[in-house]
Homo-oligomer: A and B are copies of this chain.
Amino acid sequence: MILSIQLRTKFQSLRSLSALVFFTAIAWSPASLAAPPDSGDTAWVLTSTALVLFMAIPALALFYGGLVRVKNVLSLLMHCFVIVCAASILWFIAGYSLVFTDGGSQQAWIGGFSRIFLRGLTAQSQSGKLPEAVFIMFQLTFAAITPALIVGAFAERMRFSAMLLFSMGWLLLAYVPVAHWVWGNGWLMQLGVLDFAGGIVVHVNAGVASLVAALVIGRRQGFPQKPMPPHSLVLAYTGAAMLWVGWFGFNAGSALAANGSAAMAMLTTHLAAASGALVWMAIEWVKFGKPSVLGIATGMVAGLGTITAAAGYVGPAAAVGIGSVAGASCFWATQYIKNILHVDDSLDVFSVHGVGGTVGSLLTGILVASQFGGVGLAEGATIGSQLMVQALAIVVTALWSGLVTLGLLKLVDRLVGLRVNAEEETEGLDIVFHEERGYNL
């Protein structure tokens, strides 16, 4: 097969690519342990870790919480919070080990058990030029935010226990393997797939799961006839703006160093966000006559999701291009999914993250080329071959994530029931599951 041939050649060339920095060196590359950690790089990744946690809570939580009706605001906040907590513990127990340690003969598919419960980890342990503990923490925040993205799809109607079971199952069965394939020296990494900060691992993965989840759990009562306006655009805006700031950690932190690559990733990230926002705003202005706060913020998130795969690989002009395409394509996807297909992906997770992640991961395959201002293709790769690898990774991730989601939801439905009943939905999840209300003004 052509793929298995590529596999071998890519494995060589890839070493020159910064994707490699994602791979921890424990077990198979003890040489890298010689140099002590660089304090500047460590400082930046520590900071980036704080920024990515900031994205999950409060940023994403407020963004989502502001967009739902007031009776469900706490349920969204709670979802994000408990996912961060539980994902952190799962990451400690097995997640990190299964993604980033050597899987031996199964390495193409899954990592190993040498860091189960983070055993053996000390302050002296190193991963590349970084203390291993900060690499673990940085990656933990990615594992925490990815399942949290999905809760927007089934907002305002899923049972709390079902959400928790599903999210943790999905983390183990969908996030962990895909992260290993792409970043943990798994088969996709060996094929040379380019995913700087998670266009595929995070956004395609979570986006497809969202679409499937929205279809499985079904529409909210009254959708799409009954309007369900955001209960606080001020809150959603606050979250969105924080997401932008936090994304600097997500993308520029993924350079795993405080260097020119991190700087360029921050610049491309920022320009894509700005372009995505402006394009979405422009389309709304032309199409509906008025640009909206929710629109410009959504365009920004689309730009960010779309640049994620490409951030450290492309130049600033390419980033503006990617952001603009993101604004347009995610806008169109939102209209199509919501208004034509009438799928109740409540907070448009698929349209923004799934579509954005896909578009961005494909564009990375083109714009990485040096003629477009990128860092250049790996030795032996062409735009065509790179695009094929990117497409393969997207398709496989989408299929895998979709199937895992479907299977898990069916299982969870049996175990605890997926959806609240009509009365509970009317009453609102805050009282039903948490016996609290968002505001007592």
Contact = CB atoms under 8 A, between A and B. Distances in A.
A42 B92 contact: no
A230 B436 CA distance: 9
Interface string A130-150: 111110110010000000000
Given A290-B435, A375-B123, A263 B44 contact: no
B133 A238 contact: no
B290 A233 contact: no
Q: Is the interface of A mostly helix, strand, loop or mixed?
A: helix
A78 B39 CA distance: 38
A417 interface: no
Contact of A43 (B43, B81, B267): B43
Contacts of A261: 123
A296 B79 CA distance: 11
B49 A47 contact: no
Given A44-B46, A290-B434, A297-B81, A259 B70 contact: no
A137 B70 CA distance: 38
Contact of A232 (B44, B274, B441): B441
A292 B434 contact: yes
A65 B238 CA distance: 11
Interface in A79-127: 81-82, 84-86, 88-89, 92, 117-119, 121-126
Given A230-B440, A267-B137, A258 B53 contact: no
B274 A85 contact: yes
Contacts of A70: 440-441
A366 interface: no
Contacts of A61: 237, 241
A131 B264 contact: yes
Contact of A440 (B122, B229, B277): B229
Interface string A49-92: 11101100110011001000110011001100110111011001
Interface string A252-285: 1000011111111011001101110110010000
A434 B121 contact: no
Contacts of A294: 436
Nearest to A55: B245
A396 B230 CA distance: 47
Contacts of A62: 234, 238
A39 B37 contact: no
Interface in A414-441: 433-441
A111 to B, nearest CB: 18
Contacts of A249: 50
A43 B47 contact: yes
B46 A258 contact: yes
A439 B441 contact: yes
Contacts of A262: 42, 46, 131, 134
Contacts of A118: 267, 315-317
A241 B81 contact: yes
A233 B433 contact: no
A320 interface: yes
A229 B430 CA distance: 15
B436 A293 contact: yes
Contacts of A46: 44, 47, 248, 252, 258, 262-263, 266
Interface of A: 37-44, 46-47, 49-51, 53-54, 57-58, 61-62, 65, 69-70, 73-74, 77-78, 81-82, 84-86, 88-89, 92, 117-119, 121-126, 130-134, 136-137, 140, 160, 229-235, 237-238, 241-242, 244-245, 248-249, 252, 257-264, 266-267, 270-271, 273-275, 277-278, 281, 288, 290-294, 296-297, 300, 312, 315-317, 320, 375, 433-441
24 contacts: A38-B40, A39-B259, A44-B47, A46-B47, A46-B258, A50-B245, A77-B233, A81-B293, A82-B277, A85-B274, A88-B271, A89-B275, A117-B317, A119-B317, A123-B375, A130-B263, A133-B267, A134-B262, A134-B266, A137-B270, A231-B440, A233-B437, A234-B438, A238-B238
